[in-house]
Amino acid sequence: PPLSEVLNLHDFEAIARVVMPEKAWAYYSSAADDEITNRENHAAYHRIWWRPRILRDVTHVDWSTKILGHPSKLPLYITATALGKLGHPDGELNLTRAAAKHGVIQMIPTLSSCSFDELVDAAEPGQVQFLQLYVNKDREISKKFVQHAEKRGIKALFITVDAPQLGRREKDMRQKFEAEDPAEVTGNKQQDKVDRSQGAARAISSFIDPGLDWKDIPWFQSITKMPLILKGVQCWEDALQAYDLGLAGVVLSNHGGRQLDFSRSGIEILVEVTRELKARRGLTFPNEKFQLFVDGGVRRANDVLKAVALGATAVGVGRPFLYAFSSYGFEGVDHALQILHDEFEMNMRLLGARTLEEVKPEMVDASSLQSH
């Protein structure tokens, strides 16, 4: 269908299911085991209800913010997703260009299909990009990559901590990964030998170090001045440890349901993290010094605003943009971001919130969320 008939981010998924090559669909859409967490990621937002305010002049509403000190026209960023060229020949460049047009931040994945430098070169002057790091067993490779990224102007490093081993994504495993040279699909040449018999995810991930430990954090702090954020935290205990080590923040995430099945949705984790960090360290959120991010299942501005109300600085969005460019290239991502802008304007007006500062915890009833 023409883009004008695509009305929301769910629509992109339904279209992608039909138009995408089976292998690419299997890699993008798959999740771990029985895919329960993947399903719950979005469903968790259904358990949060609004308490909007009325009779506030909402002629002008503004949903721009700052993420780690950098301006963003939306309280969301394009999160890291590997293998962009499986879905479209321009791969992650579609995301870089749409991010520039809409004033949002792109997190470049370690396993991008386009090379890291290509994605940095494609950015407009002043465009902010972050980097997601899979830590290599050979730390010298990671060190070089991180220091190169810092030199190239990357503004923050998101270290993925929820993937010491890749989850079983059976839909993907049933597909054989046939690219002759893995560099054809991952521009960053992180891996040496590749087992192609069990799907794309297995084929590209053998370099990731399962030995990564809290003890390694000071080493990362010694090799870069970029703010460090842990991506894939799932309980307040680990969030507290990250704060105590002086990190800049954490992403409450279960990797889009692709790692440990029966992990909770990021939005559920957010509730316990804000509560315990307030009780134990006196922190209030959103907090500039220690920023909380959430990803997984975010499909509408309504979802984003719930996370903001509960203390998140911003949220990450993954699959919807993959489905958008797989079906429509750059124009798809452009349209997806425009839909989100339109939804923000309407939602903020209906909530009675003129700025994101006015989207407060009192505005949501989250009492039916499970919380440890």
- Looking at the Cβ atoms of 212 and 317, the one nearer to ligand FNR is 317
134 is catalytic: yes
- Looking at the Cβ atoms of 117 and 357, the one nearer to ligand FNR is 117
CB 114 within 8 A of CB 89: no
Task: For 133, list phi and psi in degrees, rounded to 5.
Answer: -115, 125
Q: Which of 11, 90, 162, 295 is catalytic?
A: 162
Q: Which of residues 117-146 bind ligand FNR (CB under 6 A)?
A: 132
Q: Which of 42, 88, 255, 335 is catalytic?
A: 255
Note whether 41 binds ligand FNR by CB under 6 A.
yes
User: What is the DSSP-derived secondary structure letter of residue 190?
Assistant: -
Note whether 317 binds ligand FNR by CB under 6 A.
yes
- String of contacts with ligand FNR for each residue 275-304, x by CB under 6 A: --------------------xxxx------
Long-range contacts of 210-216 (CB under 8 A, 24+ apart): 210/164, 210/165, 211/137, 212/135, 212/161, 212/164, 214/241, 214/245, 216/135
Using CB under 6 A as the binding criterion, the count of chain residues that bind ligand FNR stands at 25
335 is catalytic: no
Q: Which of residues 146-185 bind ligand FNR (CB under 6 A)?
A: 160
Position among 75, 109, 167, 311 found at the interface with ligand FNR (CB under 6 A): 109
CA angle 205, 211, 217 (to 5 degrees): 105
Which residue stretches of 282-310 are H helix?
Answer: 301-309
Cβ at position 4, least distance to ligand FNR in Å: 24
Note whether 256 binds ligand FNR by CB under 6 A.
yes
Task: Give the residue closest to ligand FNR by C-beta.
Answer: 318
- String of contacts with ligand FNR for each residue 3-32, x by CB under 6 A: ------------------------xx----
- Looking at the Cβ atoms of 100 and 322, the one nearer to ligand FNR is 322
CB 264 within 8 A of CB 297: no
Position among 85, 102, 202, 255 found at the interface with ligand FNR (CB under 6 A): 255
* H-helix or E-strand spanning residue 130: strand 129-133
Determine what percent of the chain falls in helix, strand and coil, rounding each to the nearest 5: 45, 15, 45
- Looking at the Cβ atoms of 77 and 236, the one nearer to ligand FNR is 77
Position among 136, 188, 253, 274 found at the interface with ligand FNR (CB under 6 A): 253
Q: Which of 27, 77, 134, 323 is catalytic?
A: 134
How deeply is 72 buried, as exposed, middle or buried, from its count of CB atoms within 10 A (0-12, 13-18, 19+)?
buried
Cα distances from 56 to residues 267, 302, 306, 353, 354, in angstroms, run 28, 19, 20, 8, 8
Q: What is the Cα 261 distance to its own chain's centre?
A: 18
Tokens of 366: 């989250």
Q: Which of residues 76-105 bind ligand FNR (CB under 6 A)?
A: 79-82
Provide the binding-site residues for ligand FNR, judged by CB under 6 A. 27-28, 41, 79-82, 109, 111, 132, 160, 231, 253, 255-256, 258, 295-298, 316-319, 322
Residues with catalytic roles: 134, 162, 255
